[in-house]
């Protein structure tokens, strides 16, 4: 089942008794939205022995991947029905039965799949008149709502690294959440000048606490919790030439805000990255709208772009595939034979909490930890078909659980970086597990709705 680029990027392959070693270069990592594609992996006996250029999180993740190949599929504990080991044939037959009996299914996850698997997941929801949603609905829903209301000014991460002389992280701590973001996509790292041969970018962090990223910043602006909207609007006023009457706003003094506004208007090119700190709480889409409108105001003076810090490795890919096929990025109902989009109403959490679906097909399990307890309880009450990586733990017992290959490690494909740039994924380890594409193909090919 192994596929993808092989010979051109394998530096070394040698046979030493029973041991074989291969060194793979330019490997992409799908652990987070950075999708860094410059890793070097050393593989011995189908096990990742060492990594180069990987952050600590990625190095641990790669080396903890189950890499021992079992050629006998039927004896491998990769397929379960109601918690008990089962053959793949029995599991698929039960899956077809469940799909033929469903009236309103939910297809959820998609952020650890590849482009083809995501497309088949949408097709499954369409064929059976269900709801399709990705893990994005549990994260950056307010961002998408804001984009649709006021638009956005964006660029590739490569452009940011090449041109931005001021970089702002607002409500984001990439040193911990996206460890290589500063190093790869900005010139803000400690050795940026020596690596690039150009001047280091000015790093600004705005957050409610002093994070590890804030400790590396040239300017840290600490604001009061829940005051993002007020601070952003005060900045907008200053940038438009409106004098701030109050002595402080959101815990930030007027002098600090004036200095921040001057720094942002005087740069040649600025990039603002915002994280989950800006998208939490009621009416949080207004926070994102304020950021986007701030960029518009700054365009009167210079060039600014705004980007989200995406959590999951291919959540951006799920957004793209859903948009191609339905016109909407997540939370789409296909129950009437045409796409309907309503954030909140058609999100996985909402339909599960309200007991509106009678079956859930999970393509990847990475979004479950962000669901409410009530939604998880609902998953325990309805039939579930879960296609997941072996190491993922679930808070409920699925009706059908099938371990599938991990894209970018065991099978090839395509993932989308947080700036919507497609990155090819390669097969590094051999595996006899099926891919989610194979399972979805089987379910689609032989399932009919009564």
* Residue 199 confidence class, pLDDT cut points 50, 70, 90: confident
| Confidence at residue 242, expressed as pLDDT on a 0 to 100 scale | 95
Residue 243 reports pLDDT greater than 60: yes
* Residue 418 confidence class, pLDDT cut points 50, 70, 90: very high
What's the gap between Cα 275 and its chain centre?
12
Quick: pLDDT tens for 52-97.
999 999 998 888 775 444 333 444 678 999 999 999 999 999 999 9
* Residue 7 confidence class, pLDDT cut points 50, 70, 90: very low
- Kindly report the pTM of this predicted structure: 0.87
- The DSSP string of 270-298 is EEEEE-GGGS-STTTHHHHHHHHHHHHHH
| Confidence at residue 76, expressed as pLDDT on a 0 to 100 scale | 61
Residues of the chain with pLDDT > 70, as a percent, come to 89
* Residue 122 confidence class, pLDDT cut points 50, 70, 90: very high
* Residue 262 confidence class, pLDDT cut points 50, 70, 90: very high
For range 378-399, the mean pLDDT: 91
Average pLDDT over the chain reads 88
Between 77-81, 219-223, 268-272, the lowest mean confidence (pLDDT) is in 77-81
| Confidence at residue 149, expressed as pLDDT on a 0 to 100 scale | 86
For range 8-15, the mean pLDDT: 41
Between 21-35, 137-151, 209-223, the lowest mean confidence (pLDDT) is in 137-151
Residue 191 reports pLDDT greater than 70: no
| Residue spans in the chain of domains classed CATH 3.40.50.740 | 73-140+313-420+432-446
| Confidence at residue 17, expressed as pLDDT on a 0 to 100 scale | 34
Out of 3.40.228.10, 2.60.120.380, 1.10.10.10, 3.40.50.300, which CATH number does the structure's domain 141-308 have? 3.40.228.10
* Residues 316 and 40 sit within 8 Å (Cβ to Cβ): no
Residue 193 reports pLDDT greater than 50: no
* Residue 110 confidence class, pLDDT cut points 50, 70, 90: very high
Residues of the chain with pLDDT > 90, as a percent, come to 72
| Confidence at residue 89, expressed as pLDDT on a 0 to 100 scale | 94
CB neighbours (10 Å) of residue 194? 9
Between 26-30, 37-41, 151-155, 335-339, the lowest mean confidence (pLDDT) is in 151-155
| Higher-scoring residue by pLDDT: 39, 344 | 39
| Higher-scoring residue by pLDDT: 257, 430 | 257
- The DSSP string of 204-249 is EEEESS--HHHHT-SEEEE--TT-HHHHHHHHHHHHTTPPP-SSEE
Between 14-18, 155-159, 258-262, 410-414, the lowest mean confidence (pLDDT) is in 14-18
| Residue spans in the chain of domains classed CATH 3.40.228.10 | 141-308
CATH of domain 73-140+313-420+432-446: 3.40.50.740
What's the gap between Cα 281 and its chain centre?
20
**CA atoms in the 13 A half-sphere facing the CB of 201:** 30
| Token duo for residue 192 | 């940026």
| Confidence at residue 448, expressed as pLDDT on a 0 to 100 scale | 56
For range 102-106, the mean pLDDT: 96
The two beta strands, 359-363 and 413-416, are unpaired
For range 294-309, the mean pLDDT: 95
**183 vs 11, 53, 408, CA distance in Å?**
25, 11, 22
């Amino acid at each position: 089942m192994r596929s993808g680029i092989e010979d051109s990027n394998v530096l070394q392959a040698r046979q030493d008794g029973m041991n074989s070693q291969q060194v793979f270069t330019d490997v992409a990592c799908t652990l987070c939205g950075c999708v860094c594609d410059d890793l070097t992996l050393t593989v011995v006996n189908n096990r990742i022995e060492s990594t180069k250029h990987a952050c600590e999180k990625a190095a641990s993740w790669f080396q903890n991947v189950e890499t021992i190949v079992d050629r006998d599929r039927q004896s491998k504990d990769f397929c379960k029905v109601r918690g008990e080991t089962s053959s793949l044939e029995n599991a698929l037959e039960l899956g077809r039965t469940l799909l033929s009996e469903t009236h309103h299914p939910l297809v959820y996850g998609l952020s650890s799949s590849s482009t083809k698997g995501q497309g088949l997941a949408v097709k499954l929801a369409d064929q059976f008149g269900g709801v399709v949603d990705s893990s994005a609905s549990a994260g950056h829903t307010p961002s998408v709502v804001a984009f649709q209301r006021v638009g956005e000014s964006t660029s590739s991460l490569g452009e940011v690294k090449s041109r931005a002389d001021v970089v702002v992280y607002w409500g984001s701590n990439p040193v911990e959440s996206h460890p290589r973001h500063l190093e790869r996509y900005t010139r803000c790292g400690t050795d940026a000048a020596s690596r690039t041969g150009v001047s280091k970018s000015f790093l600004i962090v705005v957050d409610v606490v002093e994070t590890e990223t804030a400790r590396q910043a040239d300017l840290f602006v600490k604001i009061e919790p829940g005051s993002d909207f007020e601070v952003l609007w005060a900045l907008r006023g200053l940038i438009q030439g409106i004098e701030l009457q109050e002595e402080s706003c959101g815990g930030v003094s007027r002098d600090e805000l004036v200095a921040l506004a001057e720094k942002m208007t005087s740069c040649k090119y600025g990039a603002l990255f915002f994280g989950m700190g800006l998208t939490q709480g009621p009416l949080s889409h207004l926070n994102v709208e304020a950021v986007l409108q701030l960029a518009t105001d700054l365009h009167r003076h210079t060039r600014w772009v705004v980007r989200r810090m995406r959590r999951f490795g291919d959540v951006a890919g799920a957004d793209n595939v859903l948009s191609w096929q339905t016109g909407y990025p997540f939370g789409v109902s296909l129950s009437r034979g045409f796409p309907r989009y309503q954030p909140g109403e058609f999100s996985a959490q909402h339909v599960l909490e309200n007991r509106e679906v009678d079956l859930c097909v999970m393509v990847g399990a990475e979004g479950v930890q962000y669901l409410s307890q009530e939604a998880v309880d609902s998953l325990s009450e309805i039939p579930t078909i879960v296609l997941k990586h072996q190491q993922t733990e679930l808070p409920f017992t699925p009706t059908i659980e099938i371990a599938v290959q991990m894209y970018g490690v065991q099978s090839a494909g395509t993932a989308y970086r947080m700036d919507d740039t497609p990155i090819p994924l390669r097969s590094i380890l051999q595996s006899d597990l099926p891919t989610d594409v194979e399972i979805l193909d089987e379910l689609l090919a032989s399932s009919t709705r009564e």
